[in-house]
Amino acid sequence: MKKKSLSAKKKTHNKLLINLKNPLINKIYRNFENFVKFNLKKSSFSVAISGGIDSLALAYFSKCYSINNSVKVKFYHVDHKLRKESSKEAQKLKFLLKNFDINCKILKWIGVKPKANIQSIARKKRYDLIYKECLKDKINFIFIAHHIDDLYENFIIRLLRGSGLKGLVSFNQLKTNYNYKLKILRPLISQKKTDLDYVSKKVFNFKFEDPSNKNLNFKRIRIRNLINNLKSEGLDLEKLRLTINNLSDSNYTIDYYVNENIKYNSKYYKQKKSYILNKDFFNKPHEIVFRSLINLLKKIGNKYYAPRGKSVSQLLAKFGAGEIKKINISGCILEKINNSFIIYKEK
Alpha-carbon distance of 308 to 116, in angstroms, equals 19
pTM, to two decimals:
0.83
pLDDT tens digits along 329-341: 888 888 888 888 8
Q: Which has more confidence, 133 or 219?
A: 133
Amino acid letter, residue 326:
K
Task: Give domain limits for the chain.
Answer: 9-235, 264-345
Q: Which CATH superfamily is domain 9-235 in?
A: HUPs (3.40.50.620)
pLDDT tens digits along 29-87: 999 999 999 999 889 999 999 888 999 999 999 999 999 999 999 999 999 888 888 89
Is the dihedral angle over the CA atoms 73, 79, 80, 83 positive or is it negative? Answer: positive
Answer whether 72's CB lies under 8 Å from 44's CB: yes
DSSP labels for 39-94?
Answer: HHTT--EEEE--SSHHHHHHHHHHHHHHHHHT--EEEEEEE---STTHHHHHHHHH
Q: What average pLDDT does range 298-307 have in this prediction?
A: 78
